[in-house]
Structure 1
Amino acid sequence: MSLIFSLRAALAVSTALLPVAAASAQAQAQTPTAAVAQPAQDAHARLHQLFHDSDEATLKRNPVSAIFRGDMRYADRLGDYVSDAYFDAERAAAEDELKRLHAIDRATLNPTDQIAYDVFEWQTQLGLKRLTPEMLALTAVRPINHFTGFHTFYPSFASGEGAAPFKTLVDYENNLKRHKDYVTLIDRSIDRFREGMQSGVVETKMSVNNVIGQLDAQIEQGVEGSVLYGPIKKFPDTISPADRKRLTAEYQAMIRDQIQPANVRLRDFLKNEYLPVAREKVGISSMKGGDILYRTAIEELTTLPLTADYVHQLGLSEVARIHGEMEAIKTKVGFKGTLKEFFEHLRTDPKFKPASKQALVDGYYAIGKRVDAVIASQFSTIPKTPLEIRFYEPYREKNQAGGSYEPGNWDPKAPSKTRPGIFYFNTYDLPSRTTPGMETLYLHEGAPGHHFQISLAQENEALPSFMRFGGNTAFAEGWGLYAETLWNELGMETDPYQRFGGLDDEMLRAMRLVVDSGIHSKGWTREQAIEYMLDNSSMGRTDATAEVERYIVWPGQALAYKVGQLKISELKKRAQDKLGAKFDPREFHAEVLMTGALPLSVLEKKIDDWIASKQ
């Protein structure tokens, strides 16, 4: 998973929304931006006032982000995200914030503030690049695909099992108001698609067909079978009988008369008007302006100035290295055939098949208990936010990754209001799934992977909010893959088949370098990419297909895992070599995690400074 979570992925891809920390135009107009000399204390105060102002205004414009953080001040709105007015406000805010930032003398700041300064500058400049008219012409006109988009994010969010709370009457009323915003977003998305049809910037037929299938599945649910009807099926005691009756009628009417018709409008538009003009070729380079978009995506998502050719060759090198380790496992278990035949053996032998969905849930919780027993040997701080394990809901499981993580929210003032982090795993086409690799997937999505990386940042109230709740793909997914490399220290993968599953997952990330760059810069077809993954791993065809179709609609994202992991592993090796007996993995992991998700260049400087301080 990836950390798709949901909102971060949905907004970042489906609406071209990036983590731009920005203040409202009104706040900007009231804030002087002239550069003046200031003492260190004043510089610190001005910097953190900027962070505060930015965060407050950003939450107001992006209310779903606020809800994920447990902030309900704007919970009666879903937000805009696709209009010109929204993009203009984001751009103007980011431009003004950079002026405010550059008016602060960075040299007078303490080391921690300098890191915060650099991260804020990096992500705001990144946001501005994505908000230029030229870039929006390539992204905003493709607001929905099968992997991310409000049509898949919103049902889970508003189901009564997602981030939106349903504990009070106000919660239920706010949800009805958000439903109206959802309808508006769907209709505005159709308008955006029409703009792309006029300019020649369109999605792939493959993705559009998948979206049509997803919408069909939701439409077929009807009213009371709809995921969005979930909150009505489990009213809290705080809702009176009279209000229950009224809300039931209003929710039924909303789903029947507004949401379902909106989904039908989108489905019919895509099927009848958009699909005939959608792209046949899946690579982004086949789209008008796609080569520019891919170059930009690589740098943004890896946070490093890499080329498509470089990552392609890096992937081929890693695939070859991992194959060597796989051959050793194959020999160890006494398998006499080729590696490709061993892959097929793992895919088809009944002993590697899960007994049921619940058996997988139980298995993951058992793995978690084993990790919990030894985790303190590697980490000095353990998240307070609990971790929950679920399989994907049937309405969205077909097109989801093998696993993903949805962030929770720790409320120190009211622990009972805490929302757990959720590790999702995929059970679609259960007979195609295998059990080797369960331990690795838990390490990546749960502890010490995304659950640690995201929760420790969010729980660190000493950080400015944009560092607690923001991030970048290279760090987040790089950490998730790095967490997998701790299998030995955490007593995992002692069974050779689980170890092979670990290598298989590492192979997946290496293959992503080859396949993503192959699709988007070398003209690879969907089928060619799927066959490459089947030939080089024990993945089932269902998983390989979902993976490839995800890369097609999210160019560059799949590169971030291996690039980020290699950088973190490189920094760890550097620290071990230079510190020798002074090296403590708990200190190293704290240095990496406790300031949030840093761009890799910023992380490298931080670790180098830490090494120097220890010497």
Structure 2
Amino acid sequence: MTRALLAALLLSSASAAFAQATPAATQAQAQTPAERLRQLFRDSDEANLRRNPIAALFRGDYRYADQLGDFGSDAYFAAERRAAEEELATLRTIDRNALNPTDRISYDVFEYQRTDDLRDLQEDLLSLTRVRPLNHFTGIHTFYPVLASGRSAAPFRNVQDYDNNVARHRQFVQIFDRIITRFREGMQSGVVETQLTIRNVIGQLDTQLAAPPEQSPYAGPLANFPEAVLEAERARLRTELIAIIRDGIYPAYRRLRDFLQNEYLPRAREGVGLVHMQGGDRLYARLVQQNTTLPMTAAQVHEIGLREVARNRAEMEAIQRRVGFRGTLREFLEHLRTDPRFAAASRDEMREGYYAIGRRVDQRIGEIFSTIPRGRLEIREVEAFRERNASTGSYQPGNPDGSRPGVFYYNAYDLPSRRTHGMEALYLHEGAPGHHFQIALANENEALPNFMRFGGNTAYVEGWGLYAETLWDELGMETDPYQRFGGVNADQYRAIRLVVDTGIHAQGWTREQAIRYMLDNSGVSETQATTEVERYIANPGQALAYKIGQLKILELRARAERALGRRFDLREFHAQVLMTGALPLAVLERKIDDWIASRRRG
């Protein structure tokens, strides 16, 4: 609309338009390549926040706090595609050779990310993804209650924040009904979700609907009104919020639940892998490359996984001999899964155990990191309404200004199955120095363009988390052989993921076959193995990123140690890896190689 209006003005008054345009054109010509690059980044970021206001909320930017966005609509996908095309066209008018080394990294990351985004927005792939808008592992039906609970990124500081919350709820209902429309489109095209994932979603919806509206997560903000909300306003806000939960959100949940149960489930596919879905082989090949950021095939990833599983099995057997356990490795694994000494006696004991681990890490972390995040890290138990299908642990970023902490979530569901010998490794990965360090240090680094501060890719993010687990020795962790086993076991089931994920989605493995492989080759419990396998079914390819990313970072560290010898500084290496945000692995490799070369010259 703006361009059309400008064209009309130009036609009606060419001389005036020329007089106004000349200074702007002169200014553009006067900008250096670096200035044009930074302007592109700023413009892109601002436009992205307008299209995706939830991203703004998580940054602490509340200009669009009354909006959820037009997520899932044709207009939304068209706008995302148009933005990527226009921004790539602008980028390619900037002379990369005229930029300094840091700006070249930014240029390369932006080009990679927008090209990657554009690939997923092409019709051949979009037709396979938009008609499967949620499953039990990822979806707005479990994400949004947390956002709205008063314990996440959405603020509840004043009356306006509460009114914005209700406005978002009205849009949420519209999005929920759009989800049904997308599922129907998939039923017509033959691209459908699995029976397993849909049954799990139905269970999640039933769990949420079982709670009265007044006791739902959506009512959480009513429990603690801030002082800025006067008593005279509280009754109105309470009435409006309960009304939209009762008359808007809950009916939307029931509509989706009944549709899935009565119409969709009978049409859902029985085979759990993408190999059984129309177009699934094409989609999975794309997901392998997207999640590893490398030109890899499913077959290559599968072979790497088999080698890593064998390596970890050998270390497990060594620990078994060290503790004097007589029997086979399978018997040792079963002993670790079932012996009560390796289970927390209560949820309180598990929480206190993580608090103690956090204190021990904090005492040593400065020895191997030169920069510590300003934002604090909070430890929380996964909420009851989502714990059954949630991962063993996860991380939620805080605000860049530190006003909202980062959160390490641990899962206490089926407490006897949660083995204490895996707690240290899990904290290193999800908390410090894993996701909290990587994400918080990027978010807090105002020298980076926003797409690098707040963006990222799974191979780097999860690769760093798994690499952080290998720092147990430097941090004085896993001194007990059983905790060390927990660390090896944690690495093992990331190696297993390479085998199982590709097995399910490229080779046609069944759910039961994948669970059995996990139990035979790691110490995870059957509950954990089941949750993990169902996660891989629901989120194909994502689980490949961990091990591939970790192996690349370890490879780069070993390369730097060999090249620099005594001049190698682990604190400096970590700064090189962390302080430019989440880089595609090929870009990270170029950066570390350049750093090694500069250190050798120096």
1:268 maps to amino acid: D
Aligned partner (choices 55, 58, 68) of residue 68 of structure 1:
58
User: 1:39, CA displacement in angstroms?
Assistant: 9.3
Structure-1 residue corresponding to 2:452 = 467
* Structure 2 SS opposite 1:247: helix
2:340 maps to amino acid: P
Structure 2 counterparts to residues 315-464 of structure 1, below 5 A:
315-411=305-401, 418-464=403-449
Segment of structure 1 superposing worse, 461-470 or 240-249: 240-249
Structure-2 residue corresponding to 1:485 = 470
User: 1:167, CA displacement in angstroms?
Assistant: 1.3
User: 1:118, CA displacement in angstroms?
Assistant: 0.3
Task: Tell me, in whole angstroms, the C-alpha distance in 1 between the residues paired with 2:267 and 2:2.
Answer: 39
Structure-1 residue corresponding to 2:573 = 588
- The alpha-carbon distance between structure 1 residues 88 and 535, as it changes in their structure 2 partners (threshold 3 A), is same
2:530 maps to amino acid: T
2:52 maps to amino acid: N
- The alpha-carbon distance between structure 1 residues 368 and 41, as it changes in their structure 2 partners (threshold 3 A), is farther
1:116 aligned onto 2:106: yes
User: 1:304, CA displacement in angstroms?
Assistant: 0.3
1:55 aligned onto 2:45: yes
2:491 maps to amino acid: E
Task: Tell me, in whole angstroms, the C-alpha distance in 2 between the residues paired with 1:92 and 1:149.
Answer: 25
Task: Tell me, in whole angstroms, the C-alpha distance in 1 between the residues paired with 2:30 and 2:97.
Answer: 9
1:298 aligned onto 2:288: yes
Structure-2 residue corresponding to 1:608 = 593
1:182 aligned onto 2:172: yes
1:256 aligned onto 2:241: no
Task: Tell me, in whole angstroms, the C-alpha distance in 1 between the residues paired with 2:70 and 2:329.
Answer: 51
4+ residue segments displaced more than 4 Å: 24-27, 29-32, 38-41
Aligned partner (choices 158, 163, 169) of residue 168 of structure 1:
158
User: 1:25, CA displacement in angstroms?
Assistant: 8.6
Task: Tell me, in whole angstroms, the C-alpha distance in 2 between the residues paired with 1:49 and 1:332.
Answer: 59
Contact 1:25/1:93 (<8 A) preserved: no
Task: Tell me, in whole angstroms, the C-alpha distance in 2 between the residues paired with 1:276 and 1:25.
Answer: 48
Structure-2 residue corresponding to 1:567 = 552
Task: Tell me, in whole angstroms, the C-alpha distance in 2 between the residues paired with 1:348 and 1:39.
Answer: 70
User: 1:212, CA displacement in angstroms?
Assistant: 0.3
Contact 1:165/1:171 (<8 A) preserved: yes
Segment of structure 1 superposing worse, 232-241 or 186-195: 232-241
Of all paired residues, the percent bearing the same amino acid is 64
Structure-1 residue corresponding to 2:183 = 193
User: 1:65, CA displacement in angstroms?
Assistant: 0.4
* Structure 2 SS opposite 1:389: strand
Contact 1:378/1:586 (<8 A) preserved: yes
Task: Tell me, in whole angstroms, the C-alpha distance in 2 between the residues paired with 1:181 and 1:335.
Answer: 58
- The alpha-carbon distance between structure 1 residues 508 and 233, as it changes in their structure 2 partners (threshold 3 A), is same
TM-score scaled by length of structure 1: 0.93
User: 1:410, CA displacement in angstroms?
Assistant: 2.8
1:90 maps to amino acid: E
User: 1:41, CA displacement in angstroms?
Assistant: 6.4
| CA distances 1:310-350 after superposition (whole Å, capped 9, x unpaired) | 11111011000000000110011110011111111111111
1:559 maps to amino acid: L
Task: Tell me, in whole angstroms, the C-alpha distance in 2 between the residues paired with 1:569 and 1:320.
Answer: 18
Task: Tell me, in whole angstroms, the C-alpha distance in 2 between the residues paired with 1:247 and 1:190.
Answer: 30
User: 1:493, CA displacement in angstroms?
Assistant: 0.3
Task: Tell me, in whole angstroms, the C-alpha distance in 2 between the residues paired with 1:93 and 1:162.
Answer: 29
* Structure 2 SS opposite 1:436: helix
Structure 2 counterparts to residues 69-218 of structure 1, below 5 A:
69-218=59-208
1:302 maps to amino acid: T
| CA distances 1:264-301 after superposition (whole Å, capped 9, x unpaired) | 00000000000000010000111000000000000011
Task: Tell me, in whole angstroms, the C-alpha distance in 2 between the residues paired with 1:155 and 1:565.
Answer: 32
Structure-1 residue corresponding to 2:17 = none
Structure 1 gaps of 5+ residues are 1-23
* Structure 1 SS opposite 2:272: coil
| CA distances 1:537-584 after superposition (whole Å, capped 9, x unpaired) | 111111111100110111111000000000000000000000000000
Task: Tell me, in whole angstroms, the C-alpha distance in 2 between the residues paired with 1:338 and 1:502.
Answer: 20
Contact 1:25/1:92 (<8 A) preserved: no
Task: Tell me, in whole angstroms, the C-alpha distance in 1 between the residues paired with 2:347 and 2:400.
Answer: 28
| CA distances 1:29-77 after superposition (whole Å, capped 9, x unpaired) | 9999xx99x9996101000000000000100110000000000000000
* Structure 2 SS opposite 1:189: helix
User: 1:484, CA displacement in angstroms?
Assistant: 0.4
Structure 2 gaps of 5+ residues are 8-20
TM-score scaled by length of structure 2: 0.95
| CA distances 1:348-398 after superposition (whole Å, capped 9, x unpaired) | 111111021122121111111111111111100000011001111010001
Higher gyration radius (CA) = 2
Segment of structure 1 superposing worse, 104-113 or 231-240: 231-240
Task: Tell me, in whole angstroms, the C-alpha distance in 1 between the residues paired with 2:510 and 2:343.
Answer: 30
* Structure 2 SS opposite 1:444: helix
1:43 aligned onto 2:63: no
2:515 maps to amino acid: I
